Amino acid sequence: MASSIVQYVIVRSDLLKELQWPVGALIAQACHAVTAATHLFYQDEHTQTYLKDLDNMHKVVLEAPDEKSLIALGQKLEENDIKHKLWIEQPENIPTCLVVKPYPKEEVQKYFKKFKLFKT
């Protein structure tokens, strides 16, 4: 059986819960990050496979508690050559969201075990 391809989206929950960002603003950050990751890794084999079945794309949206944990995740992904995009809101220079390119689930799931599903 072919492995499922998934894209993980990790959003900072403190922006919503502590800094009182509107939900829509946070959703926009995730959309920006997903669009950027899709563009950056468009030629990638897994990205192309993911995009061939638009009605069955699988994303998992998780929450990072704060900027420190989001940055640490990005560093861990870098160390393991996991392709991703850290979205930094400008001009404020605030890291808000991290998105990995589409991967077979079994290749990347382990990096996200400690993160919970995003909720408001």
- Residue 86 has a CB neighbour count (10 Å cut-off) of 20
Residue 76's contacts (CB-CB under 8 Å, 6 or more residues apart) are 111
pLDDT computed for residue 1 by the predictor: 37
**Amino acid sitting at position 75:** Q
User: Are residues 64 and 12 in contact, defined by beta-carbon separation less than 8 angstroms?
Assistant: yes
In the chain, what percentage of residues exceed pLDDT 70? Answer: 98
Compute the mean pLDDT over every residue in the chain, rounded to the nearest whole number: 96
pLDDT higher than threshold 90 for residue 79 = yes
pLDDT higher than threshold 50 for residue 118 = yes
| Six-digit token string for 11 | 């959003």
pTM of the model: 0.94
Angle ∠(41,119,50) on CA atoms, nearest 5: 25
CA distance to 18, 23, 44, per residue, from 38 (Å): 30, 23, 9
The model's pLDDT over 19-64, given as tens digits with 9 standing for 90+, comes to 999 999 999 999 999 999 999 999 999 999 999 999 999 999 999 9
